[in-house]
Amino acid sequence: MNWGCKISYTRSIVRWYSSMRKQIDLTCFPTLDECDLEEQHIRGSGPGGSKISTTCSCVLLKHIPTGLVVKCQETRFLEQNRKRARLNLLTKLDIHLNGENSVQSQTARLQANRKASMDQKKEKN
């Protein structure tokens, strides 16, 4: 099943101005192969009473080559948790493989530069 994680991830992460979108390098962004994933559906924990403790809506996703593990229990629905777990795994995988060139660190760097330039403009006035 093709989840289209790369496209939806980049759309959800890079939702700023078009100038910032152009500055982020997405060439090193990893893709997920379903054969590299081990997925388990487990019972959730926490608030929600007997409903959460009797349904298997929590997803435990493991990337076999790197050993990264993601647990997702953000929604009540299994399919939504499966999608969100894949997006979270892509984020972790990007940080693990690319480090300072990951999308998250690039956006943090751009936001810091933008904030610094705004602060300089305020001091100037």
Check which CATH number belongs to the domain holding 83 and give it: 3.30.160.20
In a domain, 29, yes or no: yes
Higher confidence at residue 8 or residue 74? 74
Mean pLDDT of the chain: 82
Res. 72: pLDDT tops 80: yes
- Domain span at 105: 5-120
Structural domains counted in the chain:
1
pLDDT of residue 24: 78
Residue 109 lies in a domain: yes
In this predicted structure, what is the pLDDT of residue 45?
A: 81
3-state secondary structure the chain: CCCCHHHHHHHHHCCCCHHHHHHCCCCCCCCCCHHHEEEEEECCCCCCHHHHHHCCCEEEEEECCCCEEEEECCCCCHHHHHHHHHHHHHHHHHHHHHHHHCHHHHHHHHHHHHHHHHHHHHHHC
Q: In the structure, what pLDDT confidence band is assigned to residue 7 with cuts at 50, 70 and 90?
A: very low
Instruction: Say if 62 falls within a structural domain.
Output: yes
- Percent of the chain past pLDDT 70, that is, above it, reads 83
Tell me the pTM: 0.73
Domain assignment present for 125: no
Amino acid 15: pLDDT = 54
